[in-house]
A and B are shown apart, each in its own frame.
Chain A
Amino acid sequence: MNIVNIVVAYKYAPDPQEATVSSDGTVDFSRAKAVVSDYDAVAIGYGRRLATACGATLVGVCVGGPQSAKPVATKAALSRGLDRVVVVADDELETAGSTRTAQAIAAVVSQLGDVALVLAGDSSMDVAARMTPSVLAGLLGWPMLSDVETVALADGSAALERLTPQGVQSITVALPAVVSLTSEAWPVKPPGMKDLLAAGKKPVEIKSVADLGLTLADEGTVVSRAKLGGSARLGVVIDTSDPAAAAATLVEALRAAGALSEGGLA
């Protein structure tokens, strides 16, 4: 099989688990540390297996602000199993949306050449628009398949299994293609010391928007963000000294609030 490069698009994004929601519903990401999400780790892990099987190079491509190019960021991605990374890090891309992100990835993919497959995770962890792979495929003129569970590569084509609401589809597609994987496609495990050690020695290429000769598209302007809605907290405190009684009281309270139906969760 003659596959030279497999690309994994990943994002170094703030971890929503560390975002805080204030009492007035404002969501604050400023204290959330950036990570390579588990969704992206699925794509990298799956890509590693494919690349090893066919002798291809697994290239990570990341687009973001300057902190995406810091050693802690690139090592976090490389330790998951990438052979090398290309980071498009630029102040201009700090708040890039799907369109600009896809533009930058497309430029890197074109420069790399010989890319048979671009893998992506289910979605980004912080925005979760699930658009970037589609915009990328559009820019490249390649097919895009989402919610893919398995990929089997052959010469010039790939056999995929794709989860749809109607069931599993088996698809054969000509390469090159863009594929986004489900979050279950690969069992993620944390990198070990040797993975981290190896990561420190792998090549990292950092590019700016100017290096790629990109003219970034207009993505519109965010005028305001709605605060998280939802009803105000009722502030009911249940005494837990008798656990069984507490559980019964909780169920009653949830039922009264309409959160529970007879079948279970409403």
Chain B
Amino acid sequence: MSEDQFDFDVTVVGAGVAGAVTAYLLAQKGLSVALIDRGETPGSKNLSGGVLYCRSMTTVFPDFFDQAPYERRISRNQLVFMTPESSVALDYADERLHRGGTAVTVLRAKLDAWLAERCEEAGVMVMPGTRVDGLRIDQGRVVGVRAGEDELNCRVVVAADGVNSFLCRDAGLRPKPASNQLALGVKAVVKLPDGQLESRFGLAPDHGAALALVGDCTQGVGGGGFLYTNRDSCSVGLVLRLDDLVRQGLRSVDLFDHLLAHPLLERYLADGQLVEYGCHLVAEGGRAMRGQIVHNGLVVVGDAAGLTINTGFTVRGMDLAVGSAIAAAEAVAAAIAADDVSAAGLAPYETALDQSYVGQDMRTFAKAPHFMEGDRLYHDYGPLLADILFQIYHLDTSPRHRLMKVARSALKASPLRLTQLARDGWEGVRAL
């Protein structure tokens, strides 16, 4: 194809974090870039509103903290094991987290719109409200995209079209994900009465809390819950492993109502007003789900490349999306400069990704998905911890026992066996 037949050097499909950052960086390098999103405004099809670990974002946008519409800087993290009546939490608050700006909560409708504006300023042609129907493939090379009656020709397509990535599936780069590699995310944003959020969560202005919930909140379905503080609202929700949800015959909406009715959540969210809700698929497969991320004339970034990590403590996706965007933009620009956009020419993307923190962390936590699939984590640990603590704090004039004995008798009453505890401990240490 001759020079003037290209509409753009690069077409990026999907204006989420991965796509927008890739487009922004490529435009900064002087390439002509189109950024296409099916949402009427970028971000409108997005549900994730969660914690963004923002160190990589601040390398792309040094003015991120001054300019970006983030909600709060997270300085308090909790891991909460829940039973129907109790919650046992590991509560970690640290000023260093706030000072360093490690993590922020974001609402993607705002963040994505901001990113799209940065892209436009950098010269990206942003095309919202456009659904890409498929790739244009010519002799085994991706040469553009199709949308309705229109076609765009370009040197490289960046697939940033999310967890379902129809582009990758159509191109045969990735099989349909197995149901144990997918989870259903259910989320609501609840606005709290004015001035209540900081006092309820014990937060200073601009400080935020992130709670990871395990156990009764999913009624034993693999996955967990979350509760994040935004500026004046909370994002609350569940992530439910699809295979387990189907096997147990439970409905996400019932589980969500069950979560909201828990005493812990009820107190945080009392008199709150539901402002938005929705659900979305979440990639949970880890490294095993990635598939092929480089093809002739195509690279795959973000969720579309299966880049998510769930360790139970932290759920990551957006920071990995930024990391993949940085690696992809470098490699795509170099490949275009060298006039070789074949899979071989774009291969440095995969190498750079593997060497970056994204690839390293994906390898480090490669066993996490399997570990998180263990049923005991969702059924048994919450009650065990609660029973031990109940015995310690519930003084009813009966003679007390030493901690070791309390723990042993609680374990005896629990379906958990000491060998399982040891094995989970060992696997957990190895996986996380």
Contact = CB atoms under 8 A, between A and B. Distances in A.
B41 A197 contact: no
Contact of B36 (A72, A75, A193): A193
B126 interface: yes
A200 B8 CA distance: 13
Contacts of B34: 197
Contact of B7 (A20, A31, A71, A197): A197
Contacts of A75: 126
Given A192-B147, A192-B149, A35 B40 contact: yes
B128 interface: yes
A99 to B, nearest CB: 30
Interface in A47-85: 70-72, 75
Interface residues of B, number: 24
Contacts of A196: 125, 127, 129-130
Main SS at interface, chain B: mixed
A195 to B, nearest CB: 8
A33 B151 CA distance: 28
B152 interface: yes
Contacts of A20: 275
Interface in B9-49: 34, 36, 40-41, 44
Nearest to B7: A197
Contact of B41 (A22, A33, A192): A33
Contacts of B148: 192-193
Given A33-B40, A193-B127, A72 B116 contact: yes
A193 B146 CA distance: 9
Contacts of B36: 193
Contact of B120 (A31, A71, A193): A71
B152 A193 contact: yes
A19 to B, nearest CB: 12
B378 to A, nearest CB: 29
A22 B275 CA distance: 9
A193 B151 CA distance: 8
Contacts of A31: 275
Contacts of A71: 120, 126
A39 B126 CA distance: 24
Contacts of A72: 41, 116-117, 120, 126, 128
Interface in B32-73: 34, 36, 40-41, 44
A189 to B, nearest CB: 9
Interface string A174-218: 000000000000000011111011001000000000000000000
Main SS at interface, chain A: mixed
Nearest to B128: A72
Contacts of A191: 129
A33 B34 CA distance: 22
Interface residues of A, number: 18
B292 interface: no
Contact of B273 (A23, A33, A70, A192): A23
A15 B39 CA distance: 14
Nearest to A23: B273
A74 B34 CA distance: 17
A193 B44 contact: no
Contacts of A197: 7, 34, 125, 127, 152
A193 B34 CA distance: 10
A71 B127 CA distance: 11
A191 B126 CA distance: 13
A70 B117 CA distance: 9
Nearest to B149: A192
Interface in B123-156: 125-130, 147-152
Contacts of B44: 33
Contacts of B273: 22-23
B275 A194 contact: no
A87 B120 CA distance: 19
B150 A194 contact: yes
A190 to B, nearest CB: 6
A193 B150 contact: yes
Contacts of A200: 125
Nearest to B131: A190
Contacts of B275: 20, 31
A70 B151 CA distance: 26
Interface string A19-47: 01011000000010101000000000000
Contacts of B130: 192-193, 196
A175 to B, nearest CB: 34
A33 B113 CA distance: 10
A197 B150 CA distance: 11
Contacts of B147: 192-193
Interface of B: 7, 34, 36, 40-41, 44, 113, 116-117, 120, 125-130, 147-152, 273, 275
25 contacts: A20-B275, A23-B273, A31-B275, A35-B40, A70-B117, A71-B126, A72-B41, A72-B117, A75-B126, A190-B129, A191-B129, A192-B149, A192-B150, A193-B130, A193-B147, A193-B148, A193-B150, A193-B152, A196-B125, A196-B127, A196-B130, A197-B7, A197-B125, A197-B127, A200-B125
Give 6 nearest A-B pairs by CB, closest first: A193-B150, A196-B127, A192-B150, A194-B150, A193-B147, A71-B120
